[in-house]
A = this chain, B = another copy of it.
């Protein structure tokens, strides 16, 4: 299994070869029917179940190395596989196989006065490069989403999950082979050489159409900085909840608590609470005390600090910080306009929420806040492809090109125009 690692082949040549194989596989996948793709996914799921012991053995190599290297417990936990986690991956592949096939779907069709019939039809993007941290399950998720959407994938996981990723990847090969699809449809970069990432960011001689980074800010930042091909990503999720004077406190407080505390480590978790200075007095106090009582550290401006001694002072830096922890910054703003301005200055165009019963104010917020997802009276933690009904997502994008918000199988497609005529020529 370690032959390639030991041999240390010329990484540039290796990656160029991977790119060419991916391109060839993409051409085949583009014309695969949904039965073939779904059979490969179900085959991979069956293979995961059949190989639990082998996968756990490979995973143990990674886990013990990580422990020896003194990696933090949270890191080791994300790396660790169990029979339950492998079953969850298999079930995930089956769920993705059950999604509608986006490829070939007619997005729009119309007829011209000269009787030409024009149809806009979804096609795969081509080859997707996925660069991720040492989380074995991403190998399964990302490979499956790309395959379902008819795209070949080149997966490069964190080096500390290398053995686990290889064992999982072997299941894709089995599934693809059984479905008579090219094994290169899902490739795992077979080296831990970091130069391989640089090659992917340069696009493997035009073979890679888009890069999806999955991981923390340093990984995504490097990819966004260096990639010479399009990237679907978000650097951070500095999500705001704005508590308007028109909010219904009974509905609003649970949404604030859920936005911040349901899970603090996800990108849709709220990081800043903005409170309307014009709100009835009880609003501020109720919101802040509920957060504090829920175990959340609150860093407030001067006005917020007056509410409770437990509130710590916020610094300028706090307004631009993604805590990913049970900490929230809180600030008074003079109505929705100032809330919108604050979000424009400090936000990350990810997900922002307004709490109000005043629909005019909500409309203003929803239209002016320039984020991929804007919510009215609902938790920011709904920022998720599954919660949107997309089935599964490969990530959330905050760019404005092509994909924005949750990136599911539809967002991993392009389209073409099919024009049907009966001998029409274009007049002068």
Contact = CB atoms under 8 A, between A and B. Distances in A.
Interface of A: 27, 30-31, 104, 110, 112, 116, 118, 123, 125-126, 209-210, 230, 248, 251-252, 254-255, 257-258, 262, 344, 366-368, 370-379, 381-382, 384, 387-389, 400-402, 404-405, 414-426, 428
Given A389-B112, A404-B416, A377 B423 contact: yes
Contact of A416 (B248, B371, B388, B401): B371
Contacts of A400: 123, 125-126, 209, 414
Give the secondary structure class of A's interface.
Answer: mixed
B404 A402 contact: no
Contacts of A419: 373-376, 378, 382
A262 to B, nearest CB: 6
Copies in the complex: 2
Contact of A254 (B118, B252, B420, B423): B423
Contacts of A123: 370, 400
Contact of A414 (B376, B404, B426): B404
The 10 closest A-B pairs by CB, nearest first: A378-B421, A251-B423, A258-B425, A400-B414, A402-B402, A381-B426, A375-B419, A378-B424, A377-B421, A373-B417
Nearest to A248: B423
A27 B373 CA distance: 17
Contacts of A112: 387-389
A366 B421 CA distance: 12
Contact of A422 (B110, B251, B423): B251
